Structure 1
Amino acid sequence: MRRRTTVAAATAAALSAALAVTALTVPAAVADQSDADTTFVNISVNHNLDYTVGVEATKKRVFSVSATVSDPSGVKSMSFELWHGSEDRTKVDGVMSGAAQCHKINELTSYCEALVTADPNVNLRKNALAGLWYMAPVAVDGAGNVTRGVGAYFAVIKRQTYLSQTVVTPDPVKKGTNITVKARMTVAGWEQKKNVPLIGHQVLLQYRKGTSGPFVTLKKLKTDRNGWATSTVKATADGAYRYDFATTSLTQPTTGAADYVDVK
């Protein structure tokens, strides 16, 4: 049995484009591998849903990782390894893995998909484990040779976020009167085993006139030390108010439920 490694060069584009997974593989320059290189293409995390996985405070999340694998002697088996902390596997602070089921496309190529479990009670016990996870596909070919792909393969594991129902007071309200719009922002606390306030993050106060049409942004503001977003605006017409939170490198996006206001 031989062990081989295919190497992919991580580029700035791979990291900047939403930490997307790329599938550029360059076989290692070893003479006895030239006639038996395993290649990995079309690597997908979470079925290409931006390669991102959101995980709640206490519930495990099962997600898929897949690849199309080719080898001159065929593909016997496949697995995926994920780790956090450093590209150097000797300095990791978190690991995940999953064995794949492979479906033969032809004698040389198979489509392989694994289910990986992200669990706050097992492999996500620290909030600091949110963010970029390195990933390596590992294949065994028909001759028993093991190839481990390394390089520009990534997944992003994020903490799930939540916005409470927006509350507008007073309601109903006289036209031209100030109204207060409040909602609370929380995030999955993997360490705390519960949702905790998301402090000091920007949210957008949005408004939709009437009962249909798009929401427009009125203000940008940050949540306070208890996770509350509070803003004051003048009531001009019947409509709905809500808060919206964009994604970060560590947290998922979310939009709160709107509150409709009757303006007299």
Structure 2
Amino acid sequence: MRKRAIVATATAAALSAALAVAALAAPAAGADQDDSPSTFDLFEVNHDWQDSTVGVEAAKKRLIPISATISDPSGVKSAKFQLLNSNTTDKVITAGAHCHKITEITSWCEALLLADPKVNLHSNALAGLWYLDVIAVDGEDNVTRSEGLQTASFGMIKRQTYMSQTDATPEPVTKGKNLTVKAQLTGASWATNTNVPLVGHQMELQYRKGTSGAFVTLKKIKTDRNGWVTTTVKATADGAYRYVFTGTRLTQPAASFTDYVDVK
């Protein structure tokens, strides 16, 4: 078995962009050897949901589906998918792929990669950008790695977040009087396998008049040391209040259930 050159080109649909990968010269070989490296195309991560972003809870395993089309002049014998963390070189999520032959030289390969806070996501520092690598073995046992794809992300693996029910008091309220509106934001801690308060995160207090129509943002407030956000607003008309967290590079967005307030 000999290792092959990096794939010449790859198109990663799940990355929302075409990835140009520089070709390296293949090692010299005899006329009876297959010198052409495998090529990779039509990547799909997490079925392209949420722009290839995956939220992982504090203590639950999460399966991440990944697929690609692989071609080689001598056919595709096997393949393996890897996700590599952008912050450290020693954190890898890997799984062997099941390959389904399309033609004699092309196969569609798929795998389920397991993200587990108790095994390979044991630190919150692992949230964020991950890279995709594919290793293909052709019909002559030559190996090609799609190392060029490591220059771009497959997407994000983020900590799952949660919002409590929004609570507006007093209810009912007299028109023109103050309403106190509060909610709590928590997020998955992969380090402790529990949900913990998210401190200092900006929240949007939103209001919708009546029972239908669009919400409008009234204020932006940061959570306190216990993850709570509290503010006051003037009661003007019957309507619903909610808090919205737009998320960060490391945490998923979340929205609370609304609290409908009668104004007398």
CA contact (8 A) 2:5 2:25 kept: no
Read off the aligned partner of 1:152 and give its amino acid letter: L
Q: How does 1:187-206 map to 2 (within 5 A)?
A: 187-206=187-206
CA distance in 2, matches of 1:203, 1:22: 35
Matches within 5 A, 1:44-123: 44-49=44-49, 50-86=51-87, 92-123=89-120
Measure, in 2, the Cα distance between the counterparts of 1:31 and 1:92.
27
TM-score by length of 2: 0.89
Per-residue deviation, 1:36 = 1.4
Unaligned runs of 5+ in 1: none
Which of 9, 13, 25 aligns to 1:29? It is: 25
Q: Which moved more, 1:37-46 or 1:160-169?
A: 37-46
- For the residue of structure 2 that corresponds to 1:59, the secondary structure is coil
Q: Does 1:172 align with 2:172?
A: yes
2:209 and 2:5 mapped to 1: Cα distance?
Answer: 58
Structure 1 residue 85 displacement after superposition: 4.5
The AA in structure 1 aligned to 2:83 is L
Does the 8 Å contact 2:208/2:240 carry over to 1? yes
Question: Aligned-pair distance for 1:21?
Answer: 6.8
What is the aligned length?
253
- Unmatched segments (≥5 aa) in structure 2: none
C-alpha deviation, 1:101, in angstroms: 1.0
Structure 1 residue 152 displacement after superposition? 3.1
Distance in 1 between residues matched to 2:209 and 2:90, nearest whole Å: 49
Q: Aligned to 1:186, what secondary structure does the other structure show? A: strand
SS of the aligned residue for 2:97 comes to strand
Which residue is 2:145 aligned to? 148
- Whole-Å Cα distance in 2 between the matches of residues 93 and 77 of structure 1? 24
1:195 aligns to what SS in structure 2?
strand
For the 8 Å contact 1:187–1:197, the answer to whether it is kept is yes
Deviates more, 1:28-37 or 1:146-155: 28-37
TM (norm. structure 1) is 0.89
1:256 equivalent in alignment to 2:262:
no
Taking structure 1 as reference, are residues 175 and 83 closer, same or farther at Cα in structure 2, changes over 3 Å only? same
How many Å separate the matches in 2 of 1:121 and 1:102?
29
Root-mean-square deviation (CA, aligned residues, Å) is: 2.1
Partner-residue secondary structure (3-state), 1:4:
coil
Secondary structure at 1:48's aligned position in 2? Answer: helix
Which amino acid in the other structure matches residue 120 of structure 2?
Answer: N
CA gap of 1:68–1:151, structure 2 versus 1, over 3 A, is: same
Partners of 1:201 and 1:191 lie apart in 2 by 20
CA distance in 1, matches of 2:149, 2:86: 15
Deviates more, 1:135-144 or 1:77-86: 77-86
Question: Bigger CA drift: 19-28 or 123-132?
Answer: 19-28
Q: Residue type matched to 1:257 in 2? A: F
Q: What's 1:124 paired with?
A: 121
Query: Partners of 1:101 and 1:21 in 2: how far apart?
Result: 25
Question: Which whole-Å CA distance do the structure 1 matches of 2:76 and 2:7 have between them?
Answer: 19
Letter in 1 for 2:46: N
Pair 1:44–1:35, CA change in 2 (3 A): same
Following the alignment from structure 1 to structure 2, what is the Cα–Cα distance between the partners of residues 214 and 56?
30
Tell me the secondary structure at the aligned position of residue 125 of structure 2: helix
